[in-house]
Chain A
Amino acid sequence: MRKFALSVVSVLILLSMVLTACATPTAAPTAAAPTAEVKVVEKTVVVTQEVKVETKVEVPVAAAERTQVYWYIGLGAGSQPAQIEAEKVFIDKYNKSQTEIQLIPIIVDNNYARDNLIAQIAAGNAPDIVGPVGTKGRGFFPGAFMDLTPMVEKFKYDLSDVDPKFLEFYKDEGALVGLPFAIFPSFLWVNKTLLEEAGLDMLPQKFGEKYTIDGKEYEWNFDTLKLVAMKLTVDAKGNDATSPDFDPTNIVQWGFDWQWTDARGIATSFGAGIPVADGKAVLPAGWGEAWQWYYDGMWKDHFIPTQANIDSDLIKGNEFGSGKVAIVHCHMWFTCCTVPETNTNIDIAVVPAYNGVYTAKMHGDTFSILKDSKNPEAAFKVLTYMLGEGSADLYALYGGMPARASQQADFFAGLDKTFEKNAVKINWQVAVDSMPYVDAPNHEAGLPNFAKADDAIAKFTSDMRSNDKLDIKARIDQLITDLNTIYQEVKK
């Protein structure tokens, strides 16, 4: 009897271990990171096996007399295995196209790229070119990138077909630290199947258009979006969030979220702003309302999934891709992750207005030259090739929308081809029309003491997504206090 009882205890303990081992792993916490607006192509690497962190291509002996230009890839997109092969092809093509410069890639897994680049700069081995990299990626290296304006003037580099507004994306504290490469306007990604199931029409695809629900016309604003999203939020028994029988503890489908962004990315939809003025923390107009709307959407009205929902088996980190969230606000780069194999009935719509003003946040990627570059002029020559003759290869490789108007038609034709494979037809005009509603200042704009300020904002985002008992107004006040302290540190 004792033997049996002990064996049962042992088996039970083992069973719990086996259950643990057989459990579906959580969506990699990083994949659902609410605080960092990062493209998924950079985030799908889950470190469950040994990854080759750094790839350096051997320099052919015959090429030793050429000026060597090192291109650092991984801080943004570019370290996925499929991209690495294409990058090597691109580099090979460039090296064969001329005899002066030997372009050498340093490809580092995105998870380690930042630390690795810090170490290289610290050791005096700074690479020459870094990219593709966005505003936020550059923000972690304040003052490390070269102002390209003198080079642009010296080499008479033509920027005439770039909207001056977009040049702002490539400026850090007034210095042009990159040449226009890719832009990523944002809009709403819509799962039309879920809308049809709820008896709702497709959302507006033109700015200024109204939206009709049950025969009644509504302004396309955040109140209307809330109503639509609540109708799209459904519990296990099929009740939507507007029903008195709705069970918020057993939701199986949600209406809306801002996917893969942080508190600044959310708030900018209620008005572009930057939480600093004259070195002091400020709350831009509309941001407090935005965060209240967002917080209530999760914890009071339940049409936005919480962090626990996002990490659950239902969503697995990719809200729109899971088919369980009907509408998400995201960027052009989300073409990577819509999962068209399962979401065949999707389209895009314009963002709603707040107080009559539309704001469609924007991302911009570029290639920059480090100040510590040993061959800046050669690096600039490579840069002009990357953004000129070689740009078509790089747009195909990184999926960015060309910042130059002259290159955009080809880009959309290519996208159509990709989506046609799964019989998906998307109205890309929405993306083009969203561009004038760009957020200026940008929601990723640099802040004093950037790494710490960004961390404080990330903590705030995390609190909103995780804490159902938050006094949001008090927490916003706390954020402003924290940011003030952080900004003051740089003054000391």
Chain B
Amino acid sequence: MTVSQSVVPTKPGGAGKESKGLGLRRREAKWGLIFLSPWLLGFLIFTLLPMLASLTFSFTNYNPTKPAEMSFVGLSNYARLFNDVDLLQAISVTLRFALISVPLSLIFPLLLALLVNSKHLLAKNVFRTLFYMPYMIPVVAGVMVFGGVLNSESGWLNRLLAMIGIQGPNWFQDANWVLPALVIMGFWGVGNTMLTMLSGLQNVPTEMYEAAKVDGANAFVTFFKITIPMISPVVFYNLILSLIGTFQYFTQAYVISNGRGDPGGATLFYNLYLYKTAFAFLDMGYGSTLAWAMFIVVLLLTVFLFQTQKRWVYYAGGED
């Protein structure tokens, strides 16, 4: 785009300059909007309108196979949230999974990042690449593979346990073991988190470690007093993503449980319940309500976490 240099102010002095500046800004805004329009249109058509539609549906009894019978039901779908036993089960499963999965999904990649960042490791780049690679595997394929790995009869994990005299659990058929099994499955795809953690580690100034060494700090103190605070923005970023990811957890549970939440409802994650309600039971009105309820809860949790960051996240350049 050529910004005209030949615009001559028609009026002398500041007014002309102001007018020129205004015109330039308008032109820039116009072109900016033109360039943004594909995204704006996409957002409007594929995100905003469906969101508004689902908000509308949440006040109706909409069934997609009987659109003509749709009627306004007021807040009854929202009232139903408070006495839905299956929803309680879905929330319980999701929260229990979050309690196990979120901390581990931060700790494990951090440990891997420390490992591949260590000056004592040979062929660091090779290991970094190899640890990252599983992240590229499609989720469904990964789940199918883990279905074999964790098969209680022929999976290699239970075979290894049997070699040391331990009878492995019935990973996917036992309500007590299926969540740990899903957490183990999640370890396979931590490559991306590991990379962001690694970038955080590499941004910690080496002078700080040298100063700590001079002061006689041991590795433990150095890690908790220097490394963790310095990479806290990265940890915070991953915490937010992990939390949102946990509330959106669906594909793995859907594939493993045939879309039902087996065994005994132990994998009935919130999103799976939402999907079943809206698309299996065709209760799109209540399904939309569930979607909005989740949106609000995740939004509140995210806002809460952003509030807490003032206490534990350190931004070297200031928060802004």
Contact = CB atoms under 8 A, between A and B. Distances in A.
Interface of A: 2-3, 6-7, 9-10, 13-14, 17, 19-21, 23-30, 33, 35, 46-48, 115, 118-119, 121-122, 124, 141, 143-144, 249, 306-309, 311-314, 451-452, 455, 458-459, 462-463, 465-467
Given A6-B115, A25-B145, A118 B65 contact: yes
28 contacts: A6-B120, A13-B112, A17-B134, A24-B148, A25-B145, A25-B147, A25-B148, A26-B144, A26-B148, A47-B140, A118-B65, A119-B64, A308-B151, A308-B173, A309-B153, A313-B148, A313-B154, A451-B280, A451-B282, A452-B281, A455-B260, A455-B280, A458-B260, A459-B261, A459-B262, A459-B264, A462-B263, A467-B264
Nearest to B284: A122
Nearest to A459: B260
Nearest to A144: B65
A29 B131 contact: no
Contact of B188 (A9, A20, A307): A20
A314 B155 CA distance: 11
Given A6-B122, A13-B131, A17-B131, 14 more contacts: A10-B116, A13-B115, A17-B188, A23-B148, A24-B154, A26-B145, A35-B260, A118-B64, A307-B173, A308-B152, A314-B154, A459-B264, A462-B260, A462-B264
Interface in B163-220: 167, 170, 172-175, 188
Shortest beta-carbon contacts, A-B, top 9:
A26-B147, A122-B64, A312-B153, A466-B173, A313-B154, A25-B144, A312-B154, A26-B148, A462-B262
Contacts of A463: 263-264
Nearest to A124: B67
B145 A14 contact: no
A118 B279 contact: yes
Contacts of A26: 144-148, 151
B44 interface: no
A144 B65 CA distance: 8
Contacts of A10: 115-116, 121, 127
Interface string B131-158: 1011001101100111111011111100
A287 to B, nearest CB: 21
Contacts of A30: 258
Nearest to B174: A466
B170 A308 contact: yes
A124 B118 CA distance: 61
A46 B144 CA distance: 10
A10 B120 CA distance: 12
Contacts of B155: 23
Interface in B50-103: 64-67
B279 A115 contact: yes
A454 B280 CA distance: 10
B276 interface: yes
Contact of A20 (B149, B257, B258): B149
B262 A118 contact: no
Nearest to A309: B153
How would you classify the secondary structure of chain A's contact residues: helix, strand, loop or mixed? Answer: helix
Contact of B258 (A13, A33, A306, A467): A33
B107 to A, nearest CB: 14
A29 B256 contact: yes
Given A7-B121, A9-B115, A313 B151 contact: yes
Nearest to A307: B173
B229 interface: no
> Looking at chain B, what size class is its interface with the partner chain?
35 or more
A257 B316 CA distance: 65
B118 A6 contact: yes
A6 B123 CA distance: 11
B2 to A, nearest CB: 43
Nearest to B128: A10
A93 to B, nearest CB: 32
A122 B65 CA distance: 5
B263 A466 contact: yes
Interface in B272-303: 276, 279-282
Nearest to A308: B152
Nearest to A142: B65
A28 B144 contact: yes
| Residue of B152, B255, B258, B264 with most chain A CB atoms under a 10 A cut-off | B258
Contacts of B188: 17, 20
Nearest to A3: B120
Contacts of A466: 170, 173-174, 262-264
Contacts of A35: 258, 260
Contacts of A121: 64-65
Given A313-B151, A466-B170, A466-B262, A141 B145 contact: no
Contacts of A124: 67
B140 to A, nearest CB: 6
B172 to A, nearest CB: 8
A48 B144 contact: yes
A455 B115 contact: no
A307 B255 CA distance: 15
A380 to B, nearest CB: 22
Contacts of A20: 134, 145-146, 149, 188
Contacts of A14: 127, 130-131
A412 B30 CA distance: 73
Contacts of B167: 249
A17 B262 CA distance: 26
B116 A29 contact: no
A124 B112 CA distance: 53
A141 B133 CA distance: 43
Contacts of B120: 2-3, 6
A90 B262 CA distance: 41
B239 to A, nearest CB: 23
Contacts of A311: 147, 151, 153, 172
B39 to A, nearest CB: 25
A14 B134 CA distance: 10
Contacts of B255: 29
A483 B264 CA distance: 16
A423 B64 CA distance: 50
A455 B264 CA distance: 12
Nearest to A2: B120
A8 to B, nearest CB: 10
Nearest to A26: B147
Given A6-B120, A7-B122, A29 B65 contact: no
| Residue of A10, A25, A33, A46 with most chain B CB atoms under a 10 A cut-off | A10
A259 to B, nearest CB: 16
Interface in B239-272: 255-258, 260-265
Nearest to A463: B264
Contacts of A9: 115
A30 B258 CA distance: 6
Contacts of A452: 281
Nearest to B281: A451
B122 to A, nearest CB: 5
A440 B146 CA distance: 42
B177 to A, nearest CB: 11
